[in-house]
Amino acid sequence: MATNLATSKLDGILEKATEEVPLGREELLLLLGLSDEEDLSKVYETARFLRTRYFKDRVFIYGFVYFSTYCRNECAFCLYRKSNRSLVRYRKTDLEIMETALSLVESGVHLLDLTMGEDPFYFDNRESGFEHLIRTVEHIKKSTDIPIMISAGVVSVQILRKFKESGVDWYATYQETHNQDLYRKLRLGQSYDERMERKKLAQKMGFLIEEGLLTGVGDTNEDLVNSLEEMKKLGADQLRVMSFVPQKDTPMQNFLYVPRSRELLIIAVMRLVFPDCLIPASLDVDGLNGLAERLNSGANVVTSIIPPQSGLAGVSNHSLDIEDGNRTVSKIIPVLKDCGLVSASREEYAEWILQRH
Ligand code: SAM
Ligand code: MD0
Ligand code: SF4
């Protein structure tokens, strides 16, 4: 009897989501609290149904260029935090960035995500530090016309403006959580408001924006519902969640493990709440093996394509699947096919961006 009541409640919520009636807090909490396999598959099925409504069977693919692993910050979860001396860092030259960018475009990605730590080489030299990067972006744009995302941390307003002028389409900075106490423990010494305000400003300036969550870092279901509400207010165009991957020699290396099913459920709930948004399935967490389950939860973008032999790293998994070429377009196409999906054309992605603007 109790089960039947719970089942009909879940069915009612999914019906509402299908009709795109906004879900309330209690309903979202109920979804995030599900653990029964049958219930979960219903949620994933609804998420896929909504994805199909807006994107048919088309998936977008993002190339990832982590061009500098130096960072002035001390995020507790991140391998690349300033005080971590246990890794060899690199800073790629303009030419190397350009070559990697071109090879990624050639391989069939729809966007290039240019990412770095908050590298002092760029940040301490004020505007001139970014000068070369901006020229490189202009070059890439001129020769390929590929959409570009910048994930360079909290850059100054002037630099943001220059990125806009050089043709950058997306600005990505993730709060990780919208619980400010938790934020303080994760992004040590960084202002919550500044990060959020810069994102909003970028949006005003005409960038598309991405917001992101980390899960498995002490976030509660209440926190997640708050995040969904904040994301709704923000009106981000792309929304992501990634599971925390513990990093050796960092403060959170022994943090309690949270099963991946949590990330999958959050992806699905994001799809129910934001049916027309872009939601990544990142290869950075579990590599190629983790792709199908993320797509089957309702994701519609594959991110973190990295060419082998480029000497480039990932973020949450700095080397997983890179050198063996598993983070390439050709390796993910069969996985898409198994999930009943195909890669979109470049025109389709350009159209989505245009319509979103
Ligand atoms: N340095 C810039 C910044 O922090 O905004 C750009 C880099 S951004 C790609 C780094 C993102 O990767 C973080 O915002 C976080 O969401 C994710 N990340 C970093 N370390 C991670 C880890 N150990 N596990 C999972 N995700 C992680
Ligand atoms: C990814 N490794 O998409 C990348 C990164 C930064 N904008 C994205 C976290 O998984
Ligand atoms: Fe630096 Fe970004 Fe890592 Fe934080 S998440 S330590 S800002 S690279």
Look at ligand 1, atom 25, and give the residue with the nearest C-alpha.
244
Q: Which residue has the tokens 């993320």?
A: 294
Ligand 3 contact, 67 CB (< 6 A): no
Best mutation site among 81, 186, 245, 316 for ligand 3 pocket (most ligand atoms within 8 Å of CB)? 81
Contact status, residue 16 vs residue 8, Cβ threshold 8 Å: no
The Å distance, Cα 316 to ligand 3 centre, comes to 11
Q: What is the pTM of this model?
A: 0.97
Query: Cα(112)–Cα(100) distance, rounded to whole angstroms?
Result: 10
> What pLDDT, on a 0 to 100 scale, did the predictor assign at position 3?
62
Q: How far apart are CA 29 and CA 301, in angstroms?
A: 26
**What does pLDDT average to in each consecutive run of 10 residues of the chain (357 residues)?**
75 98 98 97 98 98 98 98 96 96 98 98 86 96 97 97 98 98 98 98 98 98 98 98 97 96 98 98 98 98 95 94 96 98 98 95
Q: Which residues line ligand 1 (CB under 6 A)?
A: 77-78, 115, 117-118, 151, 153, 173-174, 176, 212, 214, 242, 244-245, 247, 315-316
How far CA 306 is from CA of 65, 88, 182, 187, 293, in Å, comes to 7, 18, 31, 26, 20
**CB-ligand 2 contact for 245 (6 Å cutoff):** no
Testing ligand 1's pocket by substitution, the residue of 68, 74, 77 carrying the most ligand atoms inside 8 A of its CB is: 77
The reply to whether ligand 2 has any atom less than 6 angstroms from the CB of 172 is yes
Q: Give the model's pLDDT for residue 1.
A: 43
Neighbours of 180 (CB within 10 A): 10
In CATH terms, 55-356 corresponds, of 3.20.20.70, 3.40.640.10, 3.40.50.2020, 3.40.50.720, to 3.20.20.70
